[in-house]
Chain A
Amino acid sequence: MVTLGHYLIVSGALFTIGFAGVILRRNIIIIFMSLELMLNAANLSLVAFSRFRVDPNGVPNFNAQVFVFFIITVAAAEVAVGLAIIVALYRARQTTHVEDVSSLKF
């Protein structure tokens, strides 16, 4: 029997994979993909909570799904802007490696 805990742990595992990608990888595009993984891990736990909170009429709580809708929209806008920034960075420096872009490092 699948319980809420199963979904929460799988969501936590997906978040951890994204988190490890952000920490360990040095290619800025892979870091960006890992950020998407983390956003989607949050979406998975929100949808699981939405299905868990069923009101007496047998209808799940759709507020969480509206929130997921907003997160997906913001993530799509974020990807567009982020990839444009990466293209501008590549034009200026010819690299996508974060260690080659350390002018602002203190």
Chain B
Amino acid sequence: MSLVLFWLFALVMLGFGAAVVINRNPIASALSLVLCFMGLSALFMSLDAFFIGIIQILVYAGAVMVLFLFIIMLLDLRAEKRRRMNHVAIVGGAVVALAFFLQIYFIVGQLSAAKQPFPPLAATKMDDVHNIGLLLFSNYTLPFQIIGVLVLVATIGVIVLSKRELR
């Protein structure tokens, strides 16, 4: 992965990620989020995690974002009207976020492992779906079943929440 491609996809991801927060129109935010996830998926593939990159696009850009757009259009949300904004809160929030980023930046700068390049992979074909599936059904069987129950509970919860009379 060359440095140019890395920065290209990283800037696409961060630029559209910032657009999610900055846009006033929720639909524009949701579409920016799709493009942000596309850039993120490209970064996953640059790390040789092809399976994760594909399910990132399938699950997020496919399922989750369609759900977001569906809800935004169902509720018929327009661009927010300009409300009187609390400038102290905005400046305070921006300062806290910036301080957080600077902390990460300096901590990563002091990490000696962060300066090393990625070690080379084996030349033979690396089947990551095979490896992840093997781990899921051997070491992580119990978490996998718990996740199944979680998805079932989420399905039932959504049906209960969406019923007309909520008591």
Residues of A within 8 A of B (CB): 1-10, 12-21, 23-27, 29-30, 32-34, 36-37, 40, 43-44, 47-48, 50-52, 54, 57-60, 62-63, 65-66, 68-70, 72-81, 83-88, 90-92, 96-97
Residues of A within 8 A of B74 (CB): 87
Closest chain A residue, CB of each to CB of B114: A5
Minimum CB–CB distance from B70 to chain A (whole Å) comes to 8
Main secondary structure of the interface of B (DSSP, over half): helix
What separation, in Å, do the CA atoms of A98 and B82 have in the docked complex? Answer: 15
B72 and A29 contacting across the interface, CB-CB below 8 Å: yes
B147 and A88 contacting across the interface, CB-CB below 8 Å: no
A26 and B83 contacting across the interface, CB-CB below 8 Å: yes
Residues of A within 8 A of B10 (CB): 6, 10
Residues of B within 8 A of A23 (CB): 93, 96-97
A19 and B97 contacting across the interface, CB-CB below 8 Å: yes
A65 and B52 contacting across the interface, CB-CB below 8 Å: yes
Main secondary structure of the interface of A (DSSP, over half): helix
Residues of A within 8 A of B75 (CB): 86-87, 90, 96
Closest chain B residue, CB of each to CB of A6: B6
A60 and B161 contacting across the interface, CB-CB below 8 Å: no
Q: Would you list 6 pairs from A and B whose C-beta atoms are within 8 A, ordered by A residue?
A: A2-B3, A12-B108, A30-B20, A47-B52, A51-B118, A66-B132
Q: Is B121's CB within 8 Å of the partner chain A?
A: yes
B6 and A2 contacting across the interface, CB-CB below 8 Å: yes
Minimum CB–CB distance from A72 to chain B (whole Å) comes to 5
B36: contacting residue among A24, A37, A43, A92, CB under 8 A: A37
A24: contacting residue among B83, B93, B162, CB under 8 A: B93
A33 and B131 contacting across the interface, CB-CB below 8 Å: no
A77 and B154 contacting across the interface, CB-CB below 8 Å: yes
B122 and A72 contacting across the interface, CB-CB below 8 Å: no
A44 and B40 contacting across the interface, CB-CB below 8 Å: yes
